[in-house]
Amino acid sequence: MAGLFITFEGGEGCGKSTQIRLLSERLQAEGHAVVQTREPGGTPLGEAIRNLLQHDDAGKGMSPEAELLLFTASRAQHTRKRIQPALDAGDVVLCDRFMDSTTVYQGVARQIDNASVAGINQFAVGDTRPALTILIDLSPDVGMSRVRARGNGELDRMEQEAIEFFEAVRAGYLKLAASEPERFLVLDGSQSIETLQAQIWVAVSQRLS
Ligand code: Z5A
């Protein structure tokens, strides 16, 4: 039996990791085999690329084009070595960010042309596509204040972008979701953790049945 591939998208601090953890616990309690993973990352190579993208001094001054290729290199490895094999084994795969992040962050916010981003993204993932994408929509002001409150106050390379960058990301996500309403579920991230969890469960259980 083929598995179920669910991705989570949204701006910083919107609550993706929290909801993935809760959904994973519920699915496992109901007897499903679950793979919980993230991008960039998800494999040893992907995690090394993540460090370059977010923390390593070597990433300072990175060009938008190099950034695009690093995110998608991580995704190519992740898709072929972890996501697709898990789906082939019948697992539910919950992924924190996937190709829509590249479409929006590198395509819309960094303004790399759509055709290049789409072509490189497609090359990275082959035929692997999410069946359901949950977009947790939240104002960047609220999201960044959550990120600041959560951590030690230090922001990584991407989090240091201006608020206009994150506003462009938010608008890009909403436009993308509107263009594929059958795949996207858009939720209001300012709701409580419990309300969001219940809304996500409705959509996921429909896909499982
Ligand atoms: N990026 C890219 O440019 N291109 C790509 O192709 C890919 C990624 C794949 C990855 O960041 C960065 O890479 C990201 C996009 C870019 N850049 N930026 N900037 P990351 O993986 O380090 O982090 P993130 O994906 O942005 O997620 P996050 O900051 O960890 O947030 P989250 O997972 O969405 O939220 P959370 O950790 O679940 O919650 C944040 C806090 O809010 C936490 O204290 C929670 O307890 C709290 N929370 C959660 N839900 C709620 C609700 N409902 N109410 C109140 N408080 C809540």
Fold of 4-208: Rossmann fold (3.40.50)
pLDDT, one tens digit per residue, over 31-41 is 999 999 999 99
pTM summary value: 0.97
In 3D space, the residue among 136, 125, 141 whose CA is nearest the CA of residue 177 turns out to be 136
Predicted confidence (pLDDT) per residue in 184-200, tens digit: 999 999 999 999 999 99
Quote the CA–CA distance of 125 and 102 in Å, as a whole number: 12
Residue nearest to atom 44 of ligand 1 (CA): 150
Whole-number Å distance between alpha carbons of 79 and 41: 11
- Spatial CA neighbour of 93 closest among 64, 132, 57: 132
- Atom 6 of ligand 1 has which residue's CA nearest to it? 102
Question: pLDDT at position 2, please?
Answer: 87
The pLDDT assigned to 144 comes to 93
Ligand 1 surroundings by CB, under 6 angstroms:
10, 12-18, 39-40, 71, 96-97, 101-102, 105-106, 146-147, 150, 158-159, 192-193, 196
Closest by Cα among 20, 8, 3, 40 to 184 = 8
Report how far ligand 1's centroid is from the alpha carbon of 1 (Å): 32
